[in-house]
Amino acid sequence: MSCQEQQEEELEVLQSIYDGDESFKQVNEKCFQYKIGEDNTNKSFVLEIVWGEDYPENLPNINLDAFYNKHLYDHVKVTIIDKIRDEAEANSGCAMTYTLFEFAKDNSEDLLLEQIEAPVIKEEPKEHIQQMAKVKERKEQLTKAQKRKITQRTNK
């Protein structure tokens, strides 16, 4: 069976397995992402697997370059990629995308051992902060009649 036929078969299997799974995302025919861990925590990451032309005969590209992973320390990223690459080498020549995603899910605690647990702080957009500042700067404008009444009350 050619690499192309194996890829088509694996693509069909992945689509059937992950149908309805919000953590799985198919970027294109050869690029897949899976979110490991819970949203808005430092103990989560998006694993991306990209098939080359000769996959599964050769290993896929494994990366953590997604913007979602900006909170991960560089040494943690290296550890994750190294361990997942080791698992990929053990499955060389076979369809392995599902296996790699499941390995990452099952071993997420070990993969993220050196990552701190502090929650991810969502920053408010600068525009929103500037709008709030403008709103706070406004002072109440009094009419002339209101000013006269205040003056008359204080002068008595």
Query: Residue 50: its pLDDT value, please?
Result: 93
pLDDT tens for residues 51-103? 998 888 889 999 998 888 888 888 889 999 999 999 999 988 888 999 999 99
Q: Characterize 125-151 residue by residue with b for buried, 16 or more Cβ atoms within 10 angstroms of its Cβ, and e for exposed.
A: eeeeeeeeeeeeeeeeeeeeeeeeeee
Long-range contacts of range 132-140, CB-CB < 8 Å, 24 or more positions apart? none
* Rounded CA separation 56/9 (Å): 11
pLDDT tens for residues 21-51? 898 998 898 999 999 988 878 888 999 999 9
